[in-house]
Amino acid sequence: MTLEQNVVEQCAQLLYAAEQEVREVPRITDDHPQMNVADAYRIQERLRELKQAQGLRIVGMKMGLTSHAKMQQMGVDTPIYGFLAEDNAVPDGGVVEVKHLIHPKVEAEIAFVMREPLSGPDCDAAKVLAATDFVLAAIELIDSRYENFRFDLPSVIADNTSASRYVLGSRATAVAGLDLETLGVVLERNGQVVEVGAGAAVLGNPAQAVAMLVNMLAARGQTLPAGSVVLSGAITAAIPVAAGDNVQVRADGIGTVSMRFV
Ligand code: OOG
Ligand code: MG
């Protein structure tokens, strides 16, 4: 049994309001235990429509839970995807006010910018690399709308995979000659190294995560447009941030990226 359309609408409205009003809500599967992954993507798509109706442009997509560090941290075992709207973007070195956030955490990621559109169902890492314009070091700020950042798979998918803000580095690097698997990443908070990792933590190769995104989109009859920004998923566990914090990601060969919290 799939979730009724009025329940999909209710859940999307609840999550939309929670983000706008900066407040936590109970996990939606507590009230709707029958919700499955397909229902959850319907709620996410409705949330996306609500934002587009506000005039917001969709600039790209994100993969989540693509590394063991993240799956373990969140107790969920399947990669998931969400969308990025234009108001999620923060400039490199930019400042974010924590009063607009519920319980923010940051993660080190590698971002792809696509030159060519991609469609599934048999996308693979080689096709992703051939369609990529460039890659960048990135910070994703996640901010689950659920109490205590606690969720299950359908709840987090419906909540657009906790998407909140992202920052792209200023140095665009072509993928030719880059080894995305051994590419080392350091996440620093206030000048202290708090997490380290390598690209291979993300499904063996971050390009593989983008391929998986394209194939998951194909299963819902969707494609990845040219020009999309794609966050390939956290390489490290996510760390909490507070006002006064300065966060920097340094990625081997593709540069640095930072953001600050007040
Ligand atoms: C879900 C989003 C995970 C990633 O990169 O793994 C994610 C969450 O942990 O809240 O963005
Ligand atoms: Mg992420």
pLDDT at residue 169 is higher than 80? yes
Q: How far does the centroid of ligand 2 lie from the alpha carbon of residue 239, in Å?
A: 11
User: What pLDDT does residue 209 have?
Assistant: 97
pLDDT tens string 98-149: 999 999 999 999 999 999 999 999 999 999 999 999 999 999 999 999 999 9
Taking every pair of Cα atoms in the chain, the longest distance, rounded to a whole number of angstroms, is: 51
Kindly state if the Cβ of 136 falls inside 6 Å of ligand 1.
Answer: no
User: What pLDDT does residue 239 have?
Assistant: 97
Averaged pLDDT, 33-50: 97
User: What pLDDT does residue 76 have?
Assistant: 87
Cα(28)–Cα(145) distance, integer angstroms: 10
DSSP 213: H
Cα(25)–Cα(5) distance, integer angstroms: 20
User: What pLDDT does residue 213 have?
Assistant: 98
Kindly state if the Cβ of 161 falls inside 6 Å of ligand 1.
Answer: yes
pLDDT at residue 58 is higher than 70? yes
User: What pLDDT does residue 199 have?
Assistant: 97
User: What pLDDT does residue 75 have?
Assistant: 87
Can you tell me which residue has the tokens 């999550």?
15
**Ligand lying closest to the C-alpha of residue 64:** 1
pTM over 0.85: yes
Averaged pLDDT, 60-89: 93
Residue 223's contacts (CB-CB under 8 Å, 6 or more residues apart) are 117, 118, 119, 120, 214, 217
Q: How far does the centroid of ligand 1 lie from the alpha carbon of residue 235, in Å?
A: 10
Q: How far does the centroid of ligand 2 lie from the alpha carbon of residue 5, in Å?
A: 29
Give the DSSP H or E segment for 22: none
Q: At 246, is the pLDDT very low, low, confident or very high (cuts 50, 70, 90)? A: very high
User: Which structural domains are found in the chain, ordered by start?
Assistant: 58-261 (3.90.850.10)
Closest by CA position to 135, among listed 187, 108, 163, 172: 172
Closest by CA position to 167, among listed 106, 213, 208, 81: 106
User: What pLDDT does residue 172 have?
Assistant: 97
User: What pLDDT does residue 252 have?
Assistant: 96
Question: Would you state the structure tokens that stand for residue 234, as one six-digit string?
Answer: 């956290």
Q: How far does the centroid of ligand 1 lie from the alpha carbon of residue 64, in Å?
A: 4
Cβ neighbours, 10 Å, residue 215: 16
When the pLDDT of each residue in the chain is averaged and rounded to a whole number, the result is: 97
pLDDT at residue 35 is higher than 90? yes
Which residue has its alpha carbon closest to ligand 1 atom 8? 162
Per the model's pLDDT, the better-predicted residue between 248 and 76 turns out to be 248
Residue type, 252: D
User: What pLDDT does residue 77 have?
Assistant: 85
Can you tell me which residue has the tokens 């998931």?
80
User: What pLDDT does residue 1 have?
Assistant: 67
User: What pLDDT does residue 74 have?
Assistant: 86
